[in-house]
Amino acid sequence: MLEPDFWPTPSPPAAFAERRRRLAARLDGPALIAAGESRPRNFQGNRFPFRADSHFAYLVGSAAEGAFEGAVLLIDPTRATLYAHPPEPGAALWTGPAPSLDELAARLELRVRPFEELRAPPNAAVLPPQETETALVLGELLDRDVEPGGGPALTGADAALADAMIALRLIHDEAAIAQLREAAEVTARAHRAGMARTRPGLREAQVRAAMEAEIIACGMSCSYGSIVSVHGEVLHNERHDGLVAAGELLLADVGAETPEGWAGDVTRAWPVSGRFTATQRALYEHLLAAQLAAIGAVRPGVRYLEVHRAAGKRLLEGLIAEGIFRGELDGLYERGAAALFFPHGVGHLLGLDVHDLEDLGDRAGYAPGRSRSEAPGDRYLRLDRELEPGMAVTIEPGFYRIDALLSDPARVGSLEPDLDRDALARFSDVRGIRIEDDVLVTERGAEVLTAAIPKRVAELEASVGG
């Protein structure tokens, strides 16, 4: 490890009790919140790691606690009860002693009963679970169809429960912010370790390993599949077998997740050799200016769409300055010029998930009455609300040379005469860069939770190769 030891701090039981109380106060009737199950791989005993559903983790605690597998929290206006499966005596041989339900109750400061005692009120509301098994269990408990995530639009009490959870989880409480800070700190360690490990001749997997080693050693896990690639233009690149060569930029999108499930989500791009070329540096500086413009726009009351546009327009200004586009900024932006190189939204909600609350679709990300824009530059935006203190968002503009977009007449369309392909060809050593930070909206503006991670050109150059 590069730095002194770090270990995560658990939130106090009172923080979860307060969340349960606030949820109950928003509900007219009972609700069931399911933890979900781990999925088996090739047989029942060989399973993917358990990670509780985020709504459950928000209200009960530790996301990876095995005792929560298959558990259901019943919240009614007067009290909350966790129905959990008592540890099987034979399982201790394989997985060690597990807490009894009484021990769990004492630790959580919550009433805990055996799952078989659960008599679900027939009018209980539920949220769409992620897997079919849990949907079937809830359907049986309630004697009605429960669709897994991605099913039809929510109605009635289920919709009211979703809206109540969204209202709570959009604005982070003190315990949540403490968790996000810890996720940010460990994410920062991972990125510094990745920069230090980088040198020509490695494979991407070796840099990824250095980054994830830091996260694991700090008692955390990854909040999503790491992207560590010299092909930054592949937005969610899952390959790590490429060689890291001098002259290339390496993009790393890696985040730590606390044991309670809170996420970091950060991207940096740095030169493998430790020095940006003049062309890499020019585009990197424009992208950084775009990212800083977007962060500068974050404050209470500002519509996130405007933060997105601030980034797109500043990037486009840079592309015009480099001669890649010819013409007038606003007109080019409205016609989708920025989106040709920055074909995604400027960010998303961050919290218990890297794309927080997206299990509830645009119901969470979009203010009531709003829906996705048809405009080419705005249609991939995952969040379009007015920002409020306590919200956490990512700010992550990118610049990508994606041949599939640039050679598609349907995408380039009327922009072809404005695009100078010879000027663009000068930047052939930039495939894809993204700069992503985690930002907390404050009363006065914004706090960048991940500010400790090198981002300026000089800082990055000083950090590569140790």
Site residues, ligand GLY (CB under 6 A): 224, 253, 265, 354, 396, 436
**Binding region for Mn ion (CB under 5 A) out of 241-249, 309-317, 428-436, 445-453:** 428-436
Structure-token match 């659960």, residue found: 118
Q: What is the distance between the alpha carbons of residues 136 and 118, in angstroms, rounded to a whole number?
A: 15
Nearer to Mn ion, 353 or 436 (CB): 436
Nearest approach, Cβ of residue 222 and ligand GLY (Å): 10
- Residue 185 contacts Mn ion per CB under 5 A: no
Least Å distance, CB 287 to ligand GLY, is 15
Residues contacting residue 382 through CB under 8 Å, at least 6 positions apart: 345, 347, 348, 349, 355, 358, 362, 365
Q: 370 is written with which tokens?
A: 């709003």
**Rg of the chain over CA atoms, in angstroms?**
24
Nearest CB to ligand GLY, comparing residues 65 and 265:
265
Q: Stretches 179-187, 268-276, 297-305, 387-395: which one binds Mn ion (CB under 5 A)?
A: 387-395
Query: Binders of Mn ion: how many residues, by CB under 5 A?
Result: 5
* φ, ψ of residue 418 in degrees (nearest 5): -90, -10
Q: Residue 81 burial by CB count (10 A; 0-12/13-18/19+): exposed, middle or buried? A: middle
Concatenate the DSSP letters of all residues of 410-441 into one string.
HHHGGGGGGB-HHHHHTTTT--EEE-BEEEEE
| 394: contact with Mn ion by CB under 5 A | yes
Which of the ranges 47-55, 131-139, 391-399, 441-449 carries the binding residues for Mn ion, by CB under 5 A? 391-399
Phi first, then psi, for residue 229 (nearest 5°) are -155, 145
Q: What are 282's strand-pairing partners?
A: none
Greatest extent of the chain over all pairs of C-alpha atoms, in Å: 73
Nearer to ligand GLY, 103 or 358 (CB): 358
C-beta closer to Mn ion: residue 183 or 332: 183
Residue 24 beta carbon to ligand GLY: minimum distance, rounded to whole angstroms = 32
We find the least distance from the C-beta atom of residue 183 to ligand GLY, in angstroms, to be 13
| Shortest Å distance, C-beta 304 to ligand GLY | 14
| Contact call for residue 265 and Mn ion (CB under 5 A) | yes
**Shortest Å, Cβ 188 to Mn ion:** 14
Q: Does 438 bind Mn ion (CB under 5 A)?
A: no
- Torsion, Cα of 405, 406, 410, 416 (10° steps): 150
CB of 168 to ligand GLY, least distance (A): 23
Question: Which pair of tokens denotes residue 396?
Answer: 């992550």
Nearer to ligand GLY, 37 or 436 (CB): 436
Instruction: Tell me how far the alpha carbon of residue 245 is from its chain's centroid.
Output: 29
User: CB 436 → Mn ion: shortest distance, Å?
Assistant: 5
Residue 253 binds Mn ion, judged by CB under 5 A = yes
Q: Which residue is nearest to ligand GLY (CB)?
A: 253
Q: Give the residue with the Cβ less far from ligand GLY, 61 or 398.
A: 398
**Interacting residues of 90 by C-beta distance below 8 A, sequence separation 6+:** none
Count other C-beta atoms under 10 Å from residue 346's C-beta.
29
Taking the complex as a whole, how short is the minimal distance between the CB of residue 253 and ligand GLY, in angstroms?
5
Of 96-115, which residues contact Mn ion (CB under 5 A)? Answer: none
Measured CA to CA, the distance from residue 184 to residue 87 in angstroms comes to 34
Exposure of 247 in the CB half-sphere (CA atoms within 13 A): 3
Residue carrying the six token digits 């399911």 = 34
Residue 224: contacted member of ligand GLY, Mn ion, none (CB under 5 to 8 Å, by partner type): ligand GLY
Query: Choosing among ligand GLY, Mn ion, none, which partner's interface includes residue 187 (Cβ < 5 to 8 Å by kind)?
Result: none
Give me the residues that bind Mn ion (CB under 5 A), please.
Answer: 253, 265, 267, 394, 436
